[in-house]
Amino acid sequence: MSTSAIRWLMTAPDAPLTAVEFDVLPPPPGEAVVEIAGCGVCHTDLGFYYDGVRTNHALPLALGHEISGRVIAAGEGASEWVGKTVIVPAVIPCGECDACRRGKFTICPNQKMPGNDIQGGFASHITVPAYGLCPVDTDALAAAGLTLADVSVLADAITTPYQAALQAEIGEGDVAIVIGVGGVGGYAAQIAAALGATVVAIDVDAAKLDAIAQFGPVLTLNARDFDGRALKKEIQGFAKREGLKPTEWKIFECSGTAAGQMTAYGLLNHGATLCVVGFTMDKVEIRLSNLMAFHARALGNWGCPPELYPGALDLVLSGKVKVAPFVAQHPLADINEIFRAVHAGEFTRRAVLVP
């Protein structure tokens, strides 16, 4: 077995990513070497690369945290993973600390995020803790018309809104409002619908609204057509006409923009749950007293506990959440051009880089 591998390193913000060889073997105890099938390009990667968001690991660093592949080697205590096809969690908890023992995996102080805390997935191989790896049945993938590279996006774009939906206790009869339906938000809309909610999709991009319209949302609204009050009134009217709950809306802010966050906060009603899924460095000015007056709640959503990955994967394999229409594979060697195009908003599908 060759021990030579390649990763594409970020050496400085907005500097060309460069390919370097590294030795992938042997893996340390408890860790696994994954031959990468695909790695999705997330806007978090672009935040590190273009916007000056700091990585926890010093540069140079390979970005990328939406990873799928096959385990080709493992250290002591992880040999059972060799030969298995897997999805690597975007946030890997240690499984041993006090937070993990209490089931608080997303706040594990020892967590490792590929492309942030450790070398990431824009590479031919990656070495990661074996704890939390999600096995993937390749026969089930084929039956669903998917490749292993396609489901790399499960590691963040799908599992993060899935965790958010479960945390918000989405269920039959709920009104779920998703702000920003490109990428993560598109999957949030599908997941909410799969869990029984009536979904309202909001975006400023008509093409994104059109793309998601047949995959879950019952109502799509372009935020450019309404001010804040009018948007809320439009949804209230829709809920009344359809006999839906006038209160307790589940609101998912997935745009990762200040405008999206302001829109989401403005939609709070009595008993509402605001799920903050998208990330932005921008600041917003809000009146926190609205949470008090509406007896509402706001929930953060960082990553997804590995134990929830199989449930999210089941939604994909069953066809309740569609992946194929929303991803497109590109050669890893084109990473610099792909980053530029994604940053410029030229793609309607999530780019998956394939070594």
pLDDT at 152 over 70: yes
Mean pLDDT of 317-345: 97
Asked if 244 and 175 sit in the same domain, the reply is: yes
Q: What is the pLDDT of residues 132-146, one digit of tens each?
A: 999 999 999 999 999
**Same domain flag for 136 and 188:** no
pLDDT at 3 over 70: no
Q: What is the mean pLDDT of residues 235-252?
A: 97
Query: What is the model's pLDDT at position 348?
Result: 87
Q: CA-CA distances (angstroms) from residue 59 to 66, 110, 181, 230?
A: 20, 20, 32, 46
Query: Tokens 């074996």 — which residue?
Result: 130
Whether 163 and 292 map to the same domain: the answer is yes
Residue 281: pLDDT band (50, 70, 90) is confident
Q: What is the CATH number of the domain that holds 217?
A: 3.40.50.720
90 shares a domain with 226: no
What integer pLDDT is reported at residue 79 of this predicted model?
97
Instruction: Express each pLDDT in 179-190 by its tens digit.
Output: 999 889 999 999
pTM: 0.95
Q: Is the pLDDT of residue 47 over 90?
A: yes
Identify whether residues 34 and 86 lie together within a single domain: yes
Encode pLDDT of 54-63 as tens digits. Answer: 999 999 999 9
The parent domain of residue 233 ranges over 159-300
Report the domain count for the chain: 2
- Is the same domain home to 21 and 122? yes
Contact yes or no for 326/302 (Cβ under 8 A): no
CATH code (residue 330): 3.90.180.10
Q: Do 40 and 148 lie in a common domain?
A: yes
User: Is the predicted pLDDT of residue 322 greater than 80, yes or no?
Assistant: yes
211 & 321 share domain: no
**227: Cβ contacts below 8 Å, ≥ 6 apart:** none
pLDDT band with cut points at 50, 70 and 90 for residue 1: very low
Q: What is the pLDDT of residues 101-131, one digit of tens each?
A: 999 999 999 999 999 999 999 999 999 999 9
Q: How far apart are CA 176 and CA 301, in angstroms?
A: 16
